[in-house]
Amino acid sequence: MALLQENTLFFSLLFLLCMAISVSSHNRPYSPPDVPRLTDLFPHVAVDQGFSKFFGAQNVRLLNNGSYANLALDKSSGSGLVSRSKYHYGFFSAAIKLPAGLSSGVVVAFYLSNADAFAHSHDEIDIELLGHDKRNDWVLQTNIYSNGSVSTGREEKFYFWFDPTQEHHYYSIIWNSHHIVFFVDNIPVREFPSSGVFSSTYPSKPMSVYATIWDGSQWATHGGKYPVNYKYAPFVVSLAETEMVGCVSNPRQQPLSSCSNQSTSSGSDPVEGQDFAALSQQQITAMQWARSKLMFYSYCKDTSRFKVMPPECK
């Protein structure tokens, strides 16, 4: 009888262990806090109206009369889109569904950059979604560059509380004179103020909006340990419900830094209004939740990388 009980206990523990191993980290038992849905404040921009093909045109497929797009990476090329206008501050968002399956080395990016105009002093605000190996999930990496300071990346990395390959999720950026804020499904995960010690590293020049998928084998998955395996190609990312609202900086179309006339549901300016100038207490609480539960890397804690920490880390 005792032996039967011991065997029963052993197999029960073995079953629980197998279940724990099989449960992916994107099934974490986290319920995200409630937050204002900033992505509901603005109309969507059809992909073919807001963007042009940037590279890998053969791997860009416009769908539903151009309202959304699939971007693919295969052995011949990645692919990407670039906004038809440049922006000096604004709210930028896209609903993205990531490739399923083994995707090590694959990088999907939704970001702002002016590298085309300022080759040696460019600014950049990055949302980078990094593919995974068999033991890990997709990772969200945020980064900020200013005035060509590419040697000092300001990366922070997060896990998700959902499976980003099963359906579209919102990835959004606020960039204005007050701060830069990164959002996932309207939950702020990172804020970078424009004042104080941050001011010298704050992006300040007009930028274009990009959406891309490409081969990041040299660095993306565990520092390049796992390259892209093209046996599983093509890798396809779906892009929908894009939003780009703010100060347009395109001399050929509108006056420099001309702000959109669109307003939020509360009637405030889309770039400087109350919903965008500062995080509410509800958003601050949500950001603290995300950073405590999901962030696993911050450049400010990487003492092996920086002999002298960037000033904003002190």
Predicted local confidence at residue 8, as pLDDT: 45
pTM of the model: 0.86
172-210 exposure pattern, b = at least 16 Cβ within 10 A, e = fewer: bbbbbebbbbbbbbbbbbbbbebeeebeebbbeebbbbb
Structural domain boundaries of the chain? 42-313
Contact call for residues 306 and 162 (beta carbons, < 8 A): no
**Considering 128, 156, 191, 243, which one is annotated as catalytic?**
128
pLDDT tens-digit profile, the chain (314 residues): 544 444 444 444 443 334 333 334 445 668 999 999 999 999 999 999 999 999 999 999 999 999 999 999 999 999 999 999 999 999 999 999 999 999 999 999 999 999 999 888 899 999 999 998 766 789 999 999 988 766 678 999 999 999 999 999 999 999 999 999 999 999 999 999 998 888 878 998 999 999 999 999 988 887 888 899 999 999 999 999 999 998 888 655 544 455 554 444 444 456 777 778 899 999 999 999 999 999 999 999 999 988 888 888 87
Q: Which of 124, 156, 191, 243 is catalytic?
A: 124
pLDDT value for 280: 95
CA distance 110 to 126: 7
**Residue 255, pLDDT score:** 45
Q: Tell whether omega for the bond before 234 is within 30 degrees of 0, i.e. cis.
A: yes
Specify the fold of 42-313.
Answer: Jelly Rolls (2.60.120)
> How far is Cα 286 from Cα 276, in angstroms, rounded to an integer?
16
Terminus-to-terminus CA distance in the chain, angstroms?
A: 63
Question: Any alpha helices (H) in 34-77, and if so which ranges?
Answer: 47-50
pLDDT of 16 reads: 35
Instruction: Verify whether residue 191 is a known catalytic residue.
Output: no
Q: How many residues does the chain have?
A: 314
